[in-house]
Amino acid sequence: MRSLLAAALVVLFAASARAAPEKLECLAPAKPGGGFDITCQLLRLSLQNAKLVPQPVAVTYMEGGVGAVAYNHVVGTRPADPGLVVAASAGSALLLAQKKFGVHDENAVRWLAAIGADHGVIVVNAQEPFKSLKELGEALKANPAAFPFGGAGAVGSQDWMKAAIFAKSLGIDPKGLRYAALEGGGAVLTALLGGHVRIGTGDASEVGAHHKAGRVRVLAVLSEQRLPGDLADVPTAREQGLDLVWTTWRGFYMGPKVSDADYTWWVELLRKLAATPEFAAERQAKGLFPFTKIGAEFDRQVKADVARFRELAREAGLL
């Protein structure tokens, strides 16, 4: 028994004392700018500011398929690279659920960590009469055709899914929704303010300032708890009797053949990083809310998200 305990302690010590990989790289699976780049830059800058690694993290880019090209590249070409982490998001899990990453599913990589998140919102023009999600829901049930939705992305996107889970919670078939696929959160706000759509689905970071200024009214945040800042006065959907949660986490995965020791080195590094004031400051500067899940906890989160999204996609006729 003592020898087994000693051996286990040696393994743990070796993992914790393991030297940093020779090169640290964060791959953003898109062009510079946008969410994947923000995720990599958050890692790079906060590690640099907290002085937790001896060398800088290089940020590289590989666009294609909203992450599909990078996913297949890592699995097929760099499966064991100990210094490579790849930016991902809840949108990646949604695409995996819809089988848009080709032959590789959510089990093809090692999910490392989530280091921040945005949260879904349901928003209307401030001139609309609705003051709560319940009031809007009653009107929508009475006449679904009178309430066109607007969101960033086509049918099957995250914003469409937010509209779909809202409709489903009211007993409305999501396939029957009037939905305008728009180019980004800015276009959704423009459509709302112009009266072209009556309900917007988007992210908290996109609408907080507009809600505070009185241009739009956020009726619900799709988070576990109320959010700080400009949306502190907005109740969650759960507070209003609808079990709607949509968290757009941002995080990383690694190649499938990365060793346990190298994976554990990254897990421990990110645990240390998440506890630093430098990380908290940089996350806030990037417009993200606290959401940290690392190692096995994050792996469970991703697998649960993919399963949930897959069921939603089936119910909506997307699979």
What secondary structure does DSSP assign to 62-99, as a single string?
Answer: --SGGGHHHHHHHHHH-TT-TTEEEEEEHHHHHHHHTT
Of 158 and 319, more confident: 158
Place of tokens 């070796």: 14
CA distance 116 to 135: 32
Whether residue 81 is predicted with pLDDT greater than 60 in this model: the reply is yes
- Mean pLDDT, rounded, for 225-242: 95
Q: Tell me the residue length of the chain.
A: 319
**CATH 2.40.50.100 fits domain 2-117+248-315:** no
The structural domains of the chain, with segments of one domain joined by +, span 2-117+248-315, 119-240
Give the angle 304-236-192 at the CA atoms, nearest 5°.
100
Whether residue 158 is predicted with pLDDT greater than 60 in this model: the reply is yes
Q: How would residue 8 be classed by pLDDT, with cut points 50, 70 and 90?
A: very low
Residues 112 and 262 sit within 8 Å (Cβ to Cβ): no
Q: How would residue 212 be classed by pLDDT, with cut points 50, 70 and 90?
A: very high
What per-residue confidence (pLDDT) applies to 183? Answer: 80
Give the CATH fold of the 119-240 domain. Answer: D-Maltodextrin-Binding Protein; domain 2 (3.40.190)
What per-residue confidence (pLDDT) applies to 20? Answer: 85
- Identical topology for domains 2-117+248-315 and 119-240: yes
Q: How would residue 17 be classed by pLDDT, with cut points 50, 70 and 90?
A: low
Burial letters 245-272, b for 16+ CB under 10 A, else e: bbbbbbbbbbbeebeeebbbbbbebbee
Q: Of 25, 27, 98, 77, nearest to 314 (Cα)?
A: 98
Q: Residues 264-308: pLDDT tens digits?
A: 999 999 999 999 999 999 999 998 999 999 999 999 999 999 999
CA distance 211 to 217: 5
* DSSP character string of 172-236: --GGG--EEEESSHHHHHHHHHTTS-SEEEEEHHHHHHHHHTTSEEEEEEESSSPPSGGGTTPPB
Mean pLDDT of the chain: 92
